[in-house]
């Protein structure tokens, strides 16, 4: 566990890389509109990552499967939750899109995501985006040296369920810094006081994922995209954080 604690020098690089990556995600999110192809968003993301002196960490990433991820950005539309592959799909009014981006900068990895609307979206979908974003803050508020992973999961789950949304169970947050995914796994549900305890200097990515109605998801035939079984909209927000003695520092912050 101790090996996952980063030095102040490493955290300084993560902070600078995270700040750049957050700015890039903001630019890409700003380009979302009806009429835009998801492939165009990916091209913009990759161009901005390279201009920032970084490398897209998702491109070529294998995860647990055999198919390397082909893009710099994950574009997950409507019932697609995460890991959607950019295509020629043209966004239409009323769509929502999850944008997840990762960069290696001076050897260190950061990871951040938002879900944003294209045009005008339905009321319950608007509430889903808002509640998922807020649940990330509820989780971040629990982060500090000595906190248990279950404290974080509990806070996220409570927040989402209080607002009537489902918590996705198949995918979790994670440690980060020297790889796309490091230990530990950080579930978006849990019981207070259970699980590993955080140490100052750990770098973690929290990423609540929520659905309207049933949280059951299935992997698409493309080998990457996770979608809800009932076809309902889902949302995902993510920040990379440093664990401090008394709280958290959001590293993917502009």
Run of H or E including 211: strand 209-212
Q: Which of residues 49-108 bind Co ion (CB under 5 A)?
A: 100
Nearest-angstrom CA–CA distance, 153 and 172: 10
Q: Is position 111 an interface residue for Co ion (rule: CB under 5 A)?
A: yes
Select the span of 16-24, 56-64, 113-121, 226-234 touching Co ion (CB under 5 A): 113-121
Residue 13 touches which of Co ion, ligand MF3, none (Cβ within 5-8 Å per kind): none
Q: How far is CA 136 from CA 99, 125, 132, in A?
A: 16, 17, 6
- Least distance from ligand MF3 to the Cβ atom of residue 103, Å: 11
Could you give the 3-state DSSP secondary structure of residue 112? strand
Nearest-angstrom CA–CA distance, 119 and 116: 10
Give yes or no for a contact between 84 and 78, defined as CB atoms under 8 angstroms apart: no
Residue 61 touches which of ligand MF3, Co ion, none (Cβ within 5-8 Å per kind): ligand MF3
Task: For 155-171, give one letter per residue: b (16+ CB within 10 A) or e.
Answer: bbbbbbeeeebbbbeeb
From residue 199 to residue 218, the character string flagging contacts with ligand MF3 as x (rule: CB under 6 A) and all else as - is ------x-x-----------
Q: Is position 178 an interface residue for ligand MF3 (rule: CB under 6 A)?
A: no
Residue 226 touches which of Co ion, ligand MF3, none (Cβ within 5-8 Å per kind): none
Binding residues with ligand MF3: total (CB under 6 A): 15
Q: Is position 46 an interface residue for ligand MF3 (rule: CB under 6 A)?
A: no
Q: Is position 205 an interface residue for Co ion (rule: CB under 5 A)?
A: yes
Task: For 63-87, give one letter per residue: b (16+ CB within 10 A) or e.
Answer: eeeeeebebbbbbbbbbbbbbbbbe
Q: Is position 203 an interface residue for Co ion (rule: CB under 5 A)?
A: no
Residue 52 touches which of ligand MF3, Co ion, none (Cβ within 5-8 Å per kind): none
- The number of angstroms, rounded, from the C-alpha of 24 to the middle of its chain's C-alpha atoms is 14
Q: Which residues of this chain interact with ligand MF3, rule CB under 6 A?
A: 58, 61, 63, 69, 74, 83, 100, 102, 111, 180-181, 205, 207, 224, 238
């Amino acid at each position: 566990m101790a090996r996952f604690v980063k030095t102040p020098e490493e955290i300084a690089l993560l902070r600078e890389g995270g700040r750049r990556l957050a700015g890039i995600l903001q630019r890409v999110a700003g380009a979302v509109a009806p009429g835009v192809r998801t492939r165009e968003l990916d091209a913009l993301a990759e161009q901005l990552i390279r201009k920032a002196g970084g490398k897209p960490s998702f491109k070529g990433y294998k995860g647990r499967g055999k198919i390397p991820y082909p893009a710099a950005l994950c574009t997950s539309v409507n019932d697609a939750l995460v890991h959607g592959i950019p295509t020629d799909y043209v966004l239409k009014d009323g769509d929502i899109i999850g944008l997840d981006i990762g960069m290696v900068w001076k050897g260190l990895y950061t990871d951040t995501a938002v879900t944003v609307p294209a045009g005008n979206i339905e009321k319950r979908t608007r509430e889903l985006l808002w509640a998922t974003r807020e649940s990330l803050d509820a989780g971040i508020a629990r982060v500090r040296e000595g906190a248990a992973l279950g404290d974080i999961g509990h806070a996220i789950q409570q927040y989402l369920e209080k607002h009537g949304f489902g918590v996705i169970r198949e995918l979790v947050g994670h440690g980060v810094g020297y790889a796309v995914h490091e230990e530990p796994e950080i579930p978006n549900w849990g019981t207070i006081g259970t699980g590993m305890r955080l140490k100052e200097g750990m770098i973690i990515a929290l990423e609540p994922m929520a659905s309207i109605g049933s949280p059951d998801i299935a992997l698409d035939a493309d080998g990457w995209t996770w979608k809800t079984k009932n076809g309902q909209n889902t949302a995902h927000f993510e920040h990379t954080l440093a664990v401090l003695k008394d709280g958290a520092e959001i590293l993917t912050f502009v």
